[in-house]
A = this chain, B = another copy of it.
Amino acid sequence: MKVRVDVMLKNGVLDPQGEAVRHALGNLGFEGVEGVRQGKVIELDVAEGTSEDTIRDMCEKLLANTVIESYQVHMG
């Protein structure tokens, strides 16, 4: 069973990587790029019947740093 987890920095948390990308896009001549935020997408291949609670437990314990990151779980 496939599960997708998106992990993004919480709003208000400085995103140096996103800033670097925004800056680089400007240098490459791309105009009108007002903001860039970069996060992780994790695709999990788990046993059938794995519950969303188990996936959230994985996020809380490992996949996301919940102090500065928020996550969204997209089951199967």
Contact = CB atoms under 8 A, between A and B. Distances in A.
A20 to B, nearest CB: 10
Contacts of A73: none
A28 interface: yes
B35 A44 contact: yes
Interface of A: 6, 8, 18, 21, 24-25, 28, 30-47, 50, 54, 57-58, 61-63
18 contacts: A8-B41, A8-B43, A21-B42, A21-B62, A24-B62, A28-B61, A30-B57, A32-B46, A33-B46, A34-B45, A34-B47, A35-B43, A35-B44, A36-B44, A38-B42, A38-B43, A39-B41, A40-B40
